[in-house]
Chains A and B, each alone.
Chain A
Amino acid sequence: MDRRENLKLLLTGTVATGFLLSTGCSPEDTKVAEKITGTGLYGRTTDEIAVDKKLKAETFFNEKEKNMVSILADIIIPKDETSGSATESGVPDFIEFMMKDYPKFQLPMRGGLMWLENLSLATFEKSFLEITAEQRIQLIDKIAYPDTAEEEMKFGVKFFNLMRNLTCTGFFTSQMGIKDIGYVGNRPNQWDGVPDEVLKKFNLSYDQKTLDQCLKIEDQQKLAQWDEKGNLIG
């Protein structure tokens, strides 16, 4: 794939990944686009590939911990009318990876899960995995609201904040989550300003000076030329 081909693909908008591979391109184009995007790598150096491989080969969570993480993740981000749940988007695997990638997470996460398990045993005389969904919510409600949680729940609050952060970020950086949030960039585009209806909604507009001096999208491929004073003349 040389740069020119690459450029052509970009400008015609056929380079895309996943759900973006769509209309208007020949099977050949699609094949080329898949070649560009489908390597499974993302510009890693040899050292980085080795690091990722090593981390992926290790296991941090034991079976019980993994189950707890999955249950908590789906309490934090459940399925709704717009998208699936945290586990459906791959959040537990992401959290497992982050434990190894950023070892400072390990103690608060492992200790937090144990703390929650102890709370479950103390409250219901049963493991967190064995109590009912309602009982789990009873426990979570004690640690989910930092501003009003009781003093002795503080460690649990800290743990749940970590769990919430990792779950939310894991979900909204997944394919499912990006679609959910409505991010429509990361593709060749022609930025020509804020859409009119949006400007109107916020009671804003581009002044004439801005419109005059800013890029006219249709001129992009025209070779730029200046007079000796620096005025753009072509």
Chain B
Amino acid sequence: MSFQIKEQDKKYDVCIVGSGAGGGMAAKILSEAGLSVAVLEAGGDFDPAKEEYRTQLKWPWESPRRGANTQRSFGDFDAAWGGWDIDGEPYTRKDGTKFDWFRSRMLGGRTNHWGRISLRFGPKDFKRKDQDGLGDNWPISYEDVKPYYDKVDKLIGVFGTNEGLANDPDGFFLPPPKPRLHELFVKKGAAKASVPVIPSRLSILTRKINSDRGVCFFCAQCNRACQVYADFSSGTCLVKPAMQKGKVELYTHAMVREVITDNEGLATGVLYIDKKDLKEYRIGAKVVVLAASACETARIMLNSKSKAHPNGLSNSSGVVGRYLHDSTGTDRMAFMPELVDRPRYNEDGVGGLHVYSPWWLDNKKLDFPRGYHIEYWGGMGMPSYGFGFGMDTMRKYLLDEFGKPTANGGYGAELKKDIRRIYGTMVGMSGRGESIPQYDNYCEIDPDTVDKFGIPVLRFHYKWTQHEVRQAKHMHDTFEEILTGMGAVLLGEKPGENTQHGLAAPGRIIHEVGTSRMGDDPKTSALNKYAQAHDCKNLFIVDAGSFVSQADKNPTWTILALSWRTSEYIIDQLKKQNI
């Protein structure tokens, strides 16, 4: 049994910076091997089973803002402490480019509120350069990662179906929930557009996998974090269990400034600022594992300058911070006339989509490389801030008893009635796709700005290319085809060239990866194929910084698998006394 401590100059076998997916997995695997582990988290402790943290099953009226997002980026009930902007922890942008950076400062990081979409990368995803000549291949293949994906499936639990698809590998799935009503309409529309729709793959326990975690009770609120641990969060499923079983000590409110190295350039520990007393502390370790998120890890490396590492830690290649890339994303919404006056029943289901569309086309016939998947949404969800808005433009879609459109706007009993009629008639879809990593998309240390802890902050430079813009255009063409095919009325204008076809600003999809990429050549990569730093053999990175390319999948399942793989390698190398 471990507990939180605060001591100066404590020494451990391993010091892990960050408690999200990568850090949590490393803490579990390394501590189970008998190693002593310190986990440093820049935010507070969090456990959704504790009443003081719980937002699950709360009602909108329990929030004075009815769940509005004035305090938390995704609304008052969302389980993310932090957001796009954190007081006193700024970041900047260069040359008029855009990048938005989402940070969760809490145990488990962003795994507390994420969508639980848990997709393996496929064989093609590791070797994209071989197919289209763009970007680079990973130094590893699907076969290297498959055993770890298998283990992650069984350890953490994910529902889905084995479909035998070439680039969306099968796994060890729990049974998926049945589609909701709008999802059945989606299937109809997608069939007409020849777009496949299959059960989604989410790390939510529809069945029991062990005695420590409960099963889903279908409240649709995974983004609020689950009090019975029926969805995957790193804190509840990895860090806390590791603390109970092994020699794991958690330091919360520990803002790591730099990795300390010796004269040979080997890591000897980390230096952090305790956010509570604003004092500086050191933790010694034989091995340092960075898992602070792709950009925060790059920031720590770039801020860790020494004689042995003049360019920042393990950055002789100059690639740290570079090749930053996020998923592409754009959305469309529509109204389903057939669902007006729909019968009421509890449609909550799991937190998120019950069906999705994996990438289905051949790029040879398209004007852009790489693919995207489609996520679907709609249904009779719990009203929250924003529900009932927009009747000044929406009411015309409701026909009166003579089949005539109602006047937009209005007031009174008729308006009240129309809001009831329109409830549950909205459907939408979101495309999430793969972008091409670019050397010129990067984060670097801003020479002019420090945060409130005196730590130099990141400055971003990021531009989408025509590849991503054309992909977004294709997404919208597809959305319209599916929506029209399912009998929906498209809302809003189809975004045009002037908005890059509605392509979300980089960072908005919160899949940023690639800032300390792996590779066989130390001149063009920061890490080797085990995510071990080329220039510092006892430094490892287990967040998405190591990604060579982000697939048309969500990154978490790959972060978990790679972290497990790297952790086993660390254990092996310690045994062989190589580090």
Contact = CB atoms under 8 A, between A and B. Distances in A.
Given A211-B178, A215-B174, 20 more contacts: A11-B217, A39-B51, A75-B412, A101-B64, A140-B411, A146-B393, A147-B407, A164-B411, A169-B383, A172-B383, A178-B382, A190-B217, A190-B218, A191-B178, A191-B348, A206-B178, A215-B176, A222-B208, A224-B208, A232-B174
Given A42-B77, A102-B70, A197 B343 contact: yes
Question: Among B70, B218, B383, which residue has the most Cβ atoms of chain A within 10 A?
Answer: B383
Interface string B48-91: 01011111011111111111101100001101010000000000
A173 B383 contact: yes
Contacts of B382: 178, 183, 185-186
Nearest to A81: B413
Interface string A156-188: 010011001100111111110110111111111
Contacts of B380: 183, 185
A210 B348 contact: no
Contact of B207 (A102, A185, A222): A222
Interface stretch (B179-187, B508-516, B528-536): B179-187
A90 B393 CA distance: 26
Contacts of B220: 185
A221 interface: yes
B181 A202 contact: yes
B347 A185 contact: yes
Interface stretch (B94-102, B257-265, B416-424, B493-501): B416-424
A15 B51 CA distance: 13
A43 B53 contact: yes
Given A148-B407, A164-B392, A173 B61 contact: yes
Contacts of A187: 57, 219, 346
Interface of A: 1-3, 6-7, 10-11, 15, 17-18, 35-37, 39-43, 45, 48, 51-52, 55-56, 75-78, 80, 82, 90, 94, 97-98, 101-102, 140, 144-148, 157, 160-161, 164-165, 168-175, 177-178, 180-195, 197-199, 201-202, 204, 206, 210-211, 213-216, 219-224, 226, 230-232
Contacts of A215: 159, 174-178, 206-207
B419 A172 contact: yes
A165 to B, nearest CB: 4
Contact of B408 (A80, A140, A147, A213): A147
Nearest to B57: A186
Contact of A98 (B59, B65, B176, B208): B65
Nearest to A207: B187
Interface stretch (B27-35, B165-173, B292-300, B368-376): B165-173
A91 B442 CA distance: 47
B178 A6 contact: no
A156 to B, nearest CB: 12
Nearest to A55: B64
Given A180-B420, A214-B175, A102 B184 contact: no
B367 interface: no
A155 to B, nearest CB: 14
Contacts of A77: 415-416
B271 interface: no
B135 interface: no
Given A39-B51, A43-B58, A173-B61, A224 B174 contact: yes
B383 A145 contact: no
B54 A231 contact: no
A3 B228 contact: yes
A94 B208 CA distance: 42
Nearest to B65: A101
Given A11-B217, A173-B66, A219-B207, A213 B161 contact: yes
Contacts of B227: 3, 6-7, 10
